[in-house]
Amino acid sequence: MAEIGHGGKEIVERILEPAEAAEKIKGLKSIPIRSQIANEVIDIAYGWFTPLEGFMAKADLDSVCKNMRLANGVVWSIPILFDLSEAEVSDNDINQGDTVLLTYDDNPMAMFEVEEIYDFNKEEMCQAVYGTTEDKHPGCARTYEYKEKFLGGKITLVNRPKINAPFETYFLPPLELRKKFRDKGWERIVAHQTRNVPHTGHEWLMKGAWFQSYAELPIEKPLVGVLVNAIIGAKRKGDYIDEAIILTQDELRKSGYFGDHNHLTSLTFWDMRYAGPREAIFHAMLRTNLGLTHHMYGRDHAGVGSYYGAYDAHRLLATVQDDLAITPVYSMNWLYCPHCGEITSEGLCNHRDEWQMFSGTLIRSIVQDGVKPPRLIFRPEIFDLVMECAENYGFGSPFVTDEYLEKRTPVFNISPLSA
């Protein structure tokens, strides 16, 4: 039976077996790619980005910018682009109609069928996608770093990535993840989007979404699961290290705050664009392809700085809800009320002057000092594991440093291709 993803399209898998791949890549021109492109090659090839079969041509990019849809009308909110400099195009003699070999770690990774080579105004792209052209916005900064030319066309993976510890358990492509849901008997699955170590505000966001999904159902209720889908991608200094993110999210299950019957952790390779409302829609499309039925959205989803309002993502999602095959689960801001002695939400109690917001910045500063936060703010098992990850993976720090960026073990490698 076909597995249907975003846009009502069958989940895309474009992967060759080694023997066929070794034959097909003979004589192809090769182009090395950076980590962002390698991440997106994996996402396209395994179906995370269904219905995309490759990098966007100009008609799709133009339509995404102007209409938040692909040229064929399917909702799509973030450009997926392959860029090269004019010199690279010229020096490698790349032309429309060519098939080239993309290499990573100096090894073959994917074939790229170049259907179009084109230009596009980067400021126009930034204004459409991010609502600003300021280069201090990280999405704009990434856009301005693109080279002069964009290449559109299909990709086919010729060499599967080798996922390194401790991430290998959590690499669950769409078709594999959907099978796991069936094995668990989950009929409703709620997505938790994250790029952080979980504090109890995150935990209660998940639990609130789980409760809400059940509340919508009749008395005879099917099993509902929460999927933590951790974003693994480009790191900025001061971010939590990837190893701490993925392992602490799973620790919520291992330590009993959830259970095997209702909690699972996986990863997606993606370099965050911090596009706020548009990225919220992108997350809905992505998690539809993973087989999820619901997606939680809290305050300032995927935002950065003061570029977006606290609930702008909720409002934009409502405009395309009929075109999405996933149900948003909206949440207000979780906080701690010392007077009530419990986790609560804005508007539930009348102790506003005593409310304590979950400040990621404050919690990070406490963690940096090695001080265990209060249990109602940060689970002790999570704190202990963060400190363990600092020693095992972070060169003494749970946060990204220059040393971590230089010396860390990559999340994945591409090995030499063997037929």
Q: Could you read off the pLDDT of 60-99 as tens digits, one per residue?
A: 999 999 999 999 999 999 999 999 999 999 999 999 999 9
Tell me the pLDDT of the chain averaged across its residues: 93
The CB-side HSE value for 299 (13 A sphere, CA atoms) comes to 14
How would you classify the pairing of strands 107-113 and 99-104? antiparallel
Instruction: Give residue 141's pLDDT band: very low, low, confident or very high (50, 70, 90).
Output: very high
What pLDDT score was predicted for residue 343? Answer: 77
Residue 123 to residue 144: CA distance in whole angstroms: 8
What pLDDT score was predicted for residue 363? Answer: 75
What pLDDT score was predicted for residue 222? Answer: 66
Residue corresponding to tokens 């102007």 = 66
Give the tens place of pLDDT for each residue, 175-233.
999 999 999 999 899 999 998 999 888 888 899 888 887 766 665 666 899 999 999 99
Which residue, 55, 76, 31, is CA-closest to 289?
76
Report percent pLDDT > 90 for the chain: 77
The answer to whether the predicted template modeling score (pTM) of the entire model surpasses 0.85 is yes
Nearest 5°: CA angle at 270, between 245 and 277?
95
Neighbouring residues of 353: CB distance < 8 A, sequence distance ≥ 6 = none
What pLDDT score was predicted for residue 237? Answer: 87
Phi, psi of 146 (to 5 degrees): -60, 145
| pLDDT tops 90 at residue 345 | no
- What is 6-160's CATH topology? Sulfate adenylyltransferase (3.10.400)
What pLDDT score was predicted for residue 223? Answer: 86
What pLDDT score was predicted for residue 359? Answer: 66
Average pLDDT over residues 51-60: 98
What pLDDT score was predicted for residue 218? Answer: 61
Sheet holding 294-297, edge to edge: 263-269, 223-232, 186-194, 294-297, 327-330
| pLDDT tops 90 at residue 338 | no
Q: Are residues 332 and 347 in contact, defined by beta-carbon separation less than 8 angstroms?
A: yes
What tokens does 167 get?
């991430």
Give the tens place of pLDDT for each residue, 301-326.
899 999 999 899 999 999 999 999 99
What pLDDT score was predicted for residue 219? Answer: 56
What pLDDT score was predicted for residue 208? Answer: 85
| pLDDT tops 70 at residue 360 | no
Instruction: Give residue 419's pLDDT band: very low, low, confident or very high (50, 70, 90).
Output: low
What pLDDT score was predicted for residue 378? Answer: 85
The CB-side HSE value for 385 (13 A sphere, CA atoms) comes to 23
Check if CATH label 3.30.465.10 holds for domain 168-412: no
Number of Cβ within 10 Å of residue 104's Cβ equals 22
What pLDDT score was predicted for residue 369? Answer: 75
Average pLDDT over residues 7-22: 94
Instruction: Give residue 143's pLDDT band: very low, low, confident or very high (50, 70, 90).
Output: very high
Residue 14 to residue 8: CA distance in whole angstroms: 18
Residue corresponding to tokens 């809905």 = 284
What pLDDT score was predicted for residue 83? Answer: 98
Residue 207 to residue 193: CA distance in whole angstroms: 14
What pLDDT score was predicted for residue 364? Answer: 75
Report percent pLDDT > 70 for the chain: 97
Q: Hey, where are the domains in the chain?
A: 6-160, 168-412
**3-state secondary structure at position 162:** strand
Give the tens place of pLDDT for each residue, 293-302.
999 998 888 9
